[in-house]
Amino acid sequence: MTDTVGPVTDSLLDQLRDVGDPLTDSLLVSLPDPAAAALWISDRSVPDATLHAWLAESGRLPGEVDWARIERGQRFFSRVGPQALVALLCRGLPECYAGAKGAALLMMSGRIAASPRRRVMETARFVLAVMEPGRLREAVPEIQKVRLVHAFSRQMIHRHPDYRPELGVAANQEDMAGTLLAFSALLLDSLPRLGIVPTDEEVADYLYTWRVVGGLSGVDERLLPASQAGALALMEQIRVRQFRPSAAGRTMTAALLTMLRELVVQPVPWIRGLSARAPAALMRWLLPGDVADILDVPRVKDRIVWGSAAVGLGRVAQSTVLTDGGTLWEPLGRALIEVVYRYGSEGERPDFHMSAPHV
């Protein structure tokens, strides 16, 4: 993986919108029985030599990897865990829904409509799995599962009666790059609005970690910017190209808000009205105004209250150093991560299960 990535042209993004994950897509075509891949997703049995070869190839790390930088990036995420999860759920995911074409493709998968809470929490748990300090190697099978799920989804979505080629390939390179940027560059960009100001080294290490995850996820290296400035520039380019009002984007955002209200209200029912408005308030606090409008995020009077509280809490937590050298948020972050793992899944980590389609 090189330290520099050249400018990304609209022509390149147009081309990559018609590209999914060639390595994994070719696997499903070449397997005598695609159910073998679905079986591995469920219980990790490897009944086919072709699948075994794909597991070896897809698990190969992208070039020389600086494991010290990766662990520093993961530990940074751990230190800012609560703010990172707020940024993910109240900015990263909503921005993924603002692309009209990508949102339409997501809705055709049926997974978000059928179980929005589980789908959103699977995404959050995936992020937490790859960000667990010192355990990226152990997370490779989870990344491979997601690649297989995406490949199955492409086959199913392309047979959907509403699918149109002008939408692009399902889970295409442009959309996957946008998702990766939402989890990395946009998260970093949101932290100052939550009271956390990362150092230059923390920004560089966290972004580097996601570049490695992106390579393992099958994202084209040309769409993995090496700097925060480059990442934000690419995200802005994707915004201009793709962000439009859409029924699918509004539906998924409404489902996300409903799930977050349930998550927030349950532990603090005595302030139900105030806490129920927190998700929309924080979305309005973190999202660019035009993006929030595209997604029809409600305008709530508590936006400044919740935003100011988030900034204050972040500043206090970042400045409070514990006896072990960590910050106040680290133990709180670990507890919150455990809540996320348990919420909606009875304490079980997701298996990303999907039945094999008929091909």
**Count of residues making up the chain:** 359
- Give the residue carrying structure tokens 């993004």: 13
Contact predicate 142/107, CB 8 Å: no
Cβ count near 10 (within 10 Å): 10
Contact predicate 9/204, CB 8 Å: no
The domain locations on the chain are: 10-19+66-342
| 338 HSE (CA, 13 A, CB side) | 6
Contact predicate 145/129, CB 8 Å: no
CA dist 225 and 306 (Å) reads 32
- What's the N-to-C CA distance of the chain in angstroms? 35
340 pLDDT tier (thresholds 50, 70, 90): low
Q: What is the pLDDT of residue 359?
A: 29
Q: What are phi and psi of 276, to 5 degrees?
A: -65, -25
CA dist 357 and 96 (Å) reads 26
7 pLDDT tier (thresholds 50, 70, 90): confident
Q: Of the candidates 184, 172, 240, which has an alpha carbon nearest to the alpha carbon of residue 24? A: 172
C-alpha dist (Å) from residue 326 to 73, 81, 91, 331: 15, 12, 26, 9
Q: What is the pLDDT of residue 350?
A: 39
Q: What is the pLDDT of residue 316?
A: 75
Rounded to 10°, the helix 329-342/67-79 angle is: 90
Contact predicate 280/257, CB 8 Å: yes
Contacting residues for 267 by C-beta, under 8 A, at least 6 apart: none
Cβ count near 193 (within 10 Å): 18
Q: Is the pLDDT of residue 109 over 90?
A: no
Q: How is residue 348 annotated by DSSP?
A: P
Q: Which amino acid is at 327?
A: T
Q: How is residue 63 annotated by DSSP?
A: S
Q: Which amino acid is at 150?
A: H
Greater confidence, 320 or 135?
135
In the chain, % of residues over pLDDT 90? 57
Compute the mean pLDDT over every residue in the chain, rounded to the nearest whole number: 85
Contact predicate 284/142, CB 8 Å: no
Contact predicate 268/275, CB 8 Å: yes
36 pLDDT tier (thresholds 50, 70, 90): confident
- Give the residue carrying structure tokens 């709180």: 332
- Give the residue carrying structure tokens 């480059």: 230
Mean pLDDT within 334-347 = 58
Q: Read off the pLDDT of residues 305-325 as tens digits, 9 standing for 90 and up.
A: 777 777 777 777 666 655 455
Q: Is the pLDDT of residue 348 over 50?
A: no
Q: Is the pLDDT of residue 355 over 60?
A: no
Q: Read off the pLDDT of residues 253-300 as tens digits, 9 standing for 90 and up.
A: 999 998 888 877 655 554 555 678 889 999 999 999 999 999 999 998
